[in-house]
């Protein structure tokens, strides 16, 4: 075993990840190598010091209750063959939107198997356009984030024909619990000092159902969001109003939505209206004839911190506004570069590529990918994510 | 009996409608997952919330789960993504706050409530060390902290950490080296040296799996 090989394997040795044969090889190298010995000793020392990290801590009493309740409800649901809520999708739909949902970097990566294999109690898809797209969209819907995003996307795609039908609402314990958990997380006060105004929707806006944030005066809205106050003139307000109109027209067009999805969507509309950054996103999706104005309002301030761009980009992405998200990610990348954070910058560019792909702008996506490879040659993972995004959504006979 | 089944077998049984199988899974993973989140976030309440949400997402995703990766990988991937999401929210909020202060990313310390972390059932030495350690951990960049805690506390092998973080194994190991080095420095700065640690490292600690 060479010195270099041994160096590579010291960690594996320390954590017992080597088979007996290779462990013996490393150990025999160690005997004659002062440098490796020293390194191994340093490693062991830190591990000894860090021993308390390994002590298991128990979650507080009552932790299990809600989870078990949800688990039982779900098991019963399936056992009884209750299909729960069903979405029927008709018409043609951009398959790329689905892809983009799938490549959401912040979603539970392994936890979206619904799109890979539909559970056995799934579902009829009334197909009027792209078979692959409709099939991918037909899924059993709880009020999960994914479902909401899909509904949002469906509602936000103005140029597409669509119809969504949701079966009789039968909210499961799982959905209710998850919704609560998400809302709690969204509302949980950050560890940083709290802001003053109590009803201010903290960005990124959570799922504050009760607060009629849309009714906040514009002054309050400005106080509530870092984006609003710095908007260009009235730019912070106009999109909010637009998005309310969008929400209204959405209501009109999706009368078929019933039950929980309804409340979720309304809540989402409130959310959009309450946050100028997001509202601009909502508006820009619906008003593709005037994307420039909406875009300008959302990204008005050059002083906006990189993390602000990232959050806005995330929101735009989740709302299905991929072009805007891509733009915001690229701005975030610039800001990160100025902060001397090449890792985050590279990843922001990779996200931009994903979003551009999702929007069907493959040429631009490739340009950004090239920029990423050129500027951050050492960020191989980000680059490969960008490549993956481009390859995955390359127009091709869609077969999963 | 359930204790002897693998995670994946238990999940399969749950898919077939056996809630008891899920209960067994929960019993097996609740403490490791909670501890992971606690070390990552340095805050009990937050750790509890995210741990609960993680399991709820597991419940939600269970019907369509396929045995492509280990259950444990799935579990920690969800938890880890929630952490990432959370820290972005926090960062955003901090940027928003007028009186935001201090070095941007540093979360509140776990020992900010005195005595909260002290567990009489454990050695006094360890109890003394833990807040210092937690502080040192929180001073690491999140990816490094994640690798370290997953490997050291949750016993997840490097190969699986690579899956969880969506990077290759070499990146994981180099993060691990940085983490160890960073911890060594942080502990030295806090006056913690070799003499204070009595416990031997336990090579290859694993989760409490059968």
Give per-residue pLDDT as tens, A72-128. Answer: 888 877 655 544 444 444 333 444 444 444 444 444 444 344 444 444 433 333 333
Rounded CA-CA distance A295/A15 in Å is 51
Residue B148 has pLDDT above 90, yes or no: yes
User: Which pLDDT value is given to residue A252?
Assistant: 42
CA torsion angle for A13, A14, A20, A22 (degrees, to 10)?
10
| Residues 229-258, chain A, touching B (beta carbon < 8 A) | none
Q: Is A374 on the interface with B (CB under 8 A)?
A: no
Q: Say yes or no for a CB contact (<8 Å) between A107 and B81.
A: yes
The HSE-up count of residue A108 (CA atoms within 13 Å, CB side) is: 28
Other residues' Cβ atoms within 10 Å of the Cβ of residue A267: 19
Instruction: Give the start-to-end residue ranges of the domains of chain B.
Output: 1-94, 124-190
For chain B, give the percent of residues with pLDDT over 90.
55
Instruction: Name the range with the highest mean pLDDT among A138-147, A385-394, B112-121, B183-192.
Output: B183-192
Considering only CB atoms, B59 lies closest to which of A12, A59, A70, namely A70
Which of B143, B118, B142, B138 has its CA nearest to residue B183? B138
Q: Is the peptide bond before A260 cis (omega within 30 degrees of 0)?
A: no
Tally Cβ neighbours within 10 Å of residue B126: 17
What per-residue string of b and e applies to A125-151 under the rule 16 or more CB within 10 Å gives b?
bebebbebbbbbbbbbbbbbbbbbbbb
ipTM for this prediction: 0.77
Instruction: Compute the radius of gyration of chain A from its Cα atoms.
Output: 25
User: Is CATH 3.30.479.30 correct for B1-94?
Assistant: no
Domains by residue range for chain A, with CATH = 3-49 (no CATH), 78-166 (no CATH), 199-255+269-300 (no CATH), 302-400 (1.25.40)
- Predicted confidence at residue A310, as pLDDT, reads 87
Which CA distances in Å does A377 have to A105, A221, A365, A392, B170?
A: 21, 42, 17, 22, 16
Say which CATH architecture domain B124-190 belongs to: Orthogonal Bundle (1.10)
DSSP string, B3-20: GGS-HHHHHHHHHTT-HH
pLDDT value of residue A368? 92
Contacts of B32 in chain A (CB under 8 A): 56
Which of B19, B32, B48, B157 has the most A C-beta neighbours within 10 Å, making it the best mutation to test the interface with A? B19
- Say whether residue A190 is in contact with chain B using an 8 A CB cutoff: yes
A54 and B157: CB-CB below 8 Å?
Answer: no
What DSSP designation does B152 have? H
- Characterise A34 by phi-psi region: left (phi > 0), alpha (psi -120 to 50), beta (else): alpha
Taking CB atoms and an 8 Å limit, are B158 and A11 in contact across chains?
yes
What is the DSSP annotation of A99-152?
A: HHHHT-TTS-GGG-GGGTS--TT------SS-HHHHHHH--B--S-HHHHHHHH
Residue with more model confidence, A183 or A106: A183
Name which of B12, B56, B126, B169 to mutate to probe chain A: the one with the most chain A Cβ atoms within 10 A of its Cβ.
Answer: B56
Most confident of A56-60, A236-240, A274-278, B83-87: A56-60
CB contact under 8 A, B183 and A46: yes
A315 or A139, which is more confident? A315
Average pLDDT, stretch A57-70?
A: 91
- Most confident range, picked from A132-136, A222-226, A308-312, B158-162: B158-162
3-state secondary structure (DSSP) of residue B150 = helix
Choose the closest CB to B88 out of A70, A116, A310.
A310
């Amino acid at each position: 075993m060479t010195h270099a090989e041994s160096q590579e394997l010291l960690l594996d040795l320390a954590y017992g990840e080597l088979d007996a044969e290779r462990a013996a090889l490393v150990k025999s190298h160690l005997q004659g190598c002062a440098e490796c010995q020293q390194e191994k000793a340093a490693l062991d020392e830190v591990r000894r010091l860090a021993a308390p990290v390994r002590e298991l801590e128990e979650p507080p009493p009552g932790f299990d209750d809600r989870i078990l309740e949800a688990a039982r409800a779900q098991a019963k649901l399936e056992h009884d063959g209750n299909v729960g809520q069903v979405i029927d999708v008709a018409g043609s739909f951009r398959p790329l939107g689905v892809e983009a949902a799938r490549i959401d970097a912040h979603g539970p990566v392994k936890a979206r198997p619904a799109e890979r294999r539909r559970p056995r109690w799934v579902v009829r898809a009334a197909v009027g356009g792209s078979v692959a797209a409709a099939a991918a969209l037909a899924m059993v819907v709880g009020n999960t984030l994914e479902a909401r995003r899909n509904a949002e996307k469906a509602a936000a795609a103005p140029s597409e024909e669509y119809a969504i039908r949701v079966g009789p609402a039968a909210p499961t314990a799982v959905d209710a619990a998850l919704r609560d958990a998400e809302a709690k997380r969204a509302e949980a006060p950050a560890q940083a000092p709290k802001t003053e105004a109590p009803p201010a929707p903290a960005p990124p806006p959570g799922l504050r159902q009760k607060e009629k944030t849309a009714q906040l005066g514009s002054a309050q809205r400005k106080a509530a969001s870092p984006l609003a106050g710095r908007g260009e003139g009235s730019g912070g307000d106009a999109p909010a109003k637009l998005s309310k109109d969008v929400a209204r027209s959405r209501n009109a067009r999706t009368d078929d939505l019933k039950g929980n999805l309804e409340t979720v969507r309304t809540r989402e509309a409130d959310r959009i209206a309450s946050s100028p950054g997001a509202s601009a996103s909502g508006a820009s999706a619906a008003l593709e004839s005037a994307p420039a104005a909406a875009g300008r309002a959302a990204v008005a301030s050059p002083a906006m911190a990189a993390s602000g761009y990232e959050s806005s980009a995330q929101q735009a992405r989740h709302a299905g506004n991929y072009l805007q998200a891509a733009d915001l990610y690229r701005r975030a990348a610039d800001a990160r570069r100025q902060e001397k954070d090449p890792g985050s910058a590279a990843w922001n560019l990779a996200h931009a590529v994903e979003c551009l792909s999702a929007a069907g702008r493959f040429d631009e996506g490739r340009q950004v990918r090239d920029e990423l490879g050129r500027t951050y040659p050492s960020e191989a993972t980000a680059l490969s994510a960008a490549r993956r995004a481009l390859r995955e959504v390359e127009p091709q006979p869609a077969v999963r | 009996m359930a204790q002897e089944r693998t995670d994946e077998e238990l999940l399969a049984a749950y898919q077939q409608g056996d809630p008891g199988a899920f209960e067994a899974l929960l019993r097996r993973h609740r403490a490791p997952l909670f501890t992971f989140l606690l070390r990552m976030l340095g805050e009990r309440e937050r750790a509890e919330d995210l741990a609960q949400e993680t399991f709820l997402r597991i419940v939600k995703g269970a019907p369509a789960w396929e045995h492509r990766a280990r259950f444990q990988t799935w579990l920690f991937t969800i938890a880890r993504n929630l952490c990432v999401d959370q820290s972005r929210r926090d960062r955003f909020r901090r940027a928003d706050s007028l009186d935001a202060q201090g070095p941007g990313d540093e979360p509140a310390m776990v020992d900010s409530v005195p005595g909260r972390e002290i567990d009489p059932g454990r050695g006094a030495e360890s109890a003394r060390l833990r807040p210092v350690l937690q502080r040192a951990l929180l001073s690491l960049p999140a990816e490094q902290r994640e690798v370290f805690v997953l490997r050291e506390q949750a016993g997840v092998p490097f190969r699986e950490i690579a899956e969880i973080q969506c990077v290759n194994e070499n990146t994981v190991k180099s993060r691990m080296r940085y983490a160890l080095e960073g911890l060594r420095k942080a502990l030295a700065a806090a006056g913690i040296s070799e003499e204070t640690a009595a416990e031997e490292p336990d090579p290859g600690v694993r989760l409490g799996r059968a």
